[in-house]
Amino acid sequence: QLTLVESGGGLVQPGGSLRLSCAASGFTTNYPAIGWFRQAPGKEREQVSCIDRSDGTSSYAVPVKDRFSISRDNAKNLVFLQMNSLKPEDTGVYYCAAARSYFSSCILGGDMDYWGKGTLVIVSS
């Protein structure tokens, strides 16, 4: 069993920054892959970034590459998503999710095993 809790969302102006946090508790070592996903109003959920906590390997969706950065603090079971140069189209609910396999879930798009409840990010002037 794994529990994920996101925090750090809020309202920010275009061009601003936010840092999201994902706190994991439970059998965290069994689920090394942590992904950040987002869902904008009226749109499907999409993967934003993903990290393999065992070695730091990471990936990014094209729209956020060079603006977002994913990192982890394994000692505290935290994964962060630093979001810079935010745009209105980054608005949405951001979820973190965990999986057993970084390659299967993050790269091949397989299912994630556990999900948090999300944190809302609004980019607006």
Summary mean pLDDT of the chain: 95
The candidate with the shortest Cα–Cα distance to 26, out of 60, 2, 53, 57, is: 2
Tens digits of residue pLDDT in 114-125: 999 999 999 999
pLDDT digits (tens, 9 = 90+) for 44-93: 999 999 999 999 999 999 999 999 999 999 999 999 999 999 999 999 99
Instruction: Calculate what percentage of the chain has a pLDDT beyond 90.
Output: 90
**Tens digits of residue pLDDT in 2-59:** 999 999 999 999 999 999 999 999 888 899 999 999 999 999 999 999 999 999 999 9
Residues with Cβ within 8 Å of residue 96, at least 6 apart in sequence? 4, 6, 20, 22, 34, 35, 36, 37, 79, 115, 116
